[in-house]
Structure 1
């Protein structure tokens, strides 16, 4: 008799239906993204006989092994796809997601923008307050980014303190408005670290796919143009958003 293993959402209705079964084992677990769930095993005798103690012990052992393996699988998937410090996509997976969005944009004929964001004077934060504070600042800023951007937008830790934002269905003018709100929100929310206030600002450069006839038409050229405009924002004095080439 083989047990049936299901991964179901943790809901009252779902558990009520499960607990109606005669034999149930379940383990609460944390899924990727913080969603709680339960791993449930149910078995129904096909011959009408109750499950023996020996079979019960074996099923329980197999069940616990399965639940541990599933938890490990979700953990490994998280480590493979997300940056551990910020919770954003890592660069490898992020580049795949960017290419997927570019393909979707080209198929549908819809706009797509990408923005490169960078924390201003981040080295000074690490040198003055320590790397632990620097990590807290980076996590804090990424939280503000997530709050300011839309659910469909994608955030990628591109390298160090550089964050790439991918904004599907967005014109360059709209991207500028979004990034300005983001920049202002970061500047208005300094981080308190052990009683010391750490002011934080960000600079950003944005570009649009097929912005012009000779504009970016793939992931590499799109990111390169956004990065070049980020450099312009730094040159202008930081805490700036640049979405168009400067004369």
Structure 2
């Protein structure tokens, strides 16, 4: 975690709401005290300073309500410190060392402990204790000041510790729940939910990609694998297939398990032809590297459908699913164990000739050459290099914006 992240609130929306509550309530409370409590300000300077603070709190509330995303990260880490400084100055100007004056020093500690990172919360606690020491020792006898500081300091330290521990535990629980939602336990791939979210981002109006491709892969006759070898063996086969698929596409795509034996890869910034080329490398690798379960070789094949969306067409993400699904079932109807690709217009055409070994003058001759070409294609690095050669006009691939590869 870098230094910038330490300054950021745990959750921007929550921190914004808390800040609005603290700022608005604080402004109303100070304004009410200044209006209705005769000796609150102690003098003209104190009253004027109080109204200035009320005005600043009103302005902060307005900014937080209208445009919190425009505030720099440094704002969230420095606001508690500024509140401490303002509280210190006000208490000294109004010569108020009472509980009513010191109570405002609790607010920055509560906010920092609940909304900010532990290190920032600890720093704010130290600032508050120092400010309180200045207030009480400046305005009260030493004995009474020490007693006040000990009581206030102990109470605030306990509050801060308990809140920070509670928030850390909550963060761990939320992280675990998010992991369960986003990562499939069996394969370590992303879940359908995570893929849907990534697809909405990839085809959204803010996307930087011109094209998004989707690969759907289905293990052929997977029920027969379970019936013949048992469900543990079926799970092992699925894990093996998922690992090979993820290795081939790497960080260039988000690999997910949709359910059962159906897997998917979302590939932003690449055409269907390029994605199909890499999918064919995956199919060849699976043929050469079958799963091994308890010392037994369990052979499995896959049918793959590939489709793309040109984002300029303004079509929905569901259309990409539909095209890839049609290509997948076209591969099954054609005999399985093959890669089929939908044309950019959505029609399905046999794509295996397009993504297999080079054709024409560049085609290798003889069985040995064919095996050598297949071995070249099975390497993920070679597969992407070949895909780039086949589609040299495409931009370099980019990772999913804001996303991460599960597992």
TM over 0.5: yes
The answer to whether structure 1 residue 83 and structure 2 residue 184 are counterparts is yes
Structure 1: distance between partners of 2:243 and 2:319: 28
Query: Match of 2:203, SS?
Result: helix
Structure 2: distance between partners of 1:104 and 1:149: 25
Structure 1: distance between partners of 2:288 and 2:161: 53
Match of 2:42 in 1: none
RMSD of equivalent CA atoms:
3.2
More strand by share: 1
Structure 2 contact 202–209 (Cα < 8 Å) conserved:
no
CA deviation after TM superposition for structure 1 residue 139, in Å: 1.7
TM-score, length-scaled by structure 2: 0.45
Partner residue of 2:252 out of 143, 152, 155: 152
Structure 1: distance between partners of 2:161 and 2:316: 52
Partner residue of 2:321 out of 197, 220, 223: 223
More helix by share: 2
Structure 1: distance between partners of 2:236 and 2:275: 27
Deviations 1:221-242 (A, max 9, x none): 2211211111121122221001
Partner residue of 1:232 out of 309, 323, 330: 330
Structure 2: distance between partners of 1:81 and 1:143: 17
CA deviation after TM superposition for structure 1 residue 84, in Å: 2.2
CA deviation after TM superposition for structure 1 residue 206, in Å: 0.8
Gap change, CA 1:147 and 1:109, over 3 Å in 2: closer
Match of 2:200 in 1: 99
Match of 1:182 in 2: 282
How is 1:116-135 mapped onto 2 (pairs within 5 angstroms)? 116-135=216-235
CA deviation after TM superposition for structure 1 residue 131, in Å: 1.3
Query: Match of 2:213, SS?
Result: strand
Query: Match of 1:88, SS?
Result: coil
Deviations 1:57-87 (A, max 9, x none): 8766655544332221210111122222222
TM-score, length-scaled by structure 1: 0.70
Give the gaps of 5 or more residues in structure 2. Answer: 1-5, 8-116, 134-149, 343-347, 351-407
Instruction: Name the larger-Rg structure.
Output: 2
Structure 2: distance between partners of 1:77 and 1:182: 29
Structure 2: distance between partners of 1:58 and 1:210: 55
Deviations 1:115-160 (A, max 9, x none): 2110111111111121122122212211111110041312222221
CA deviation after TM superposition for structure 1 residue 93, in Å: 3.0
Query: Match of 1:77, SS?
Result: helix
Gap change, CA 1:233 and 1:130, over 3 Å in 2: same
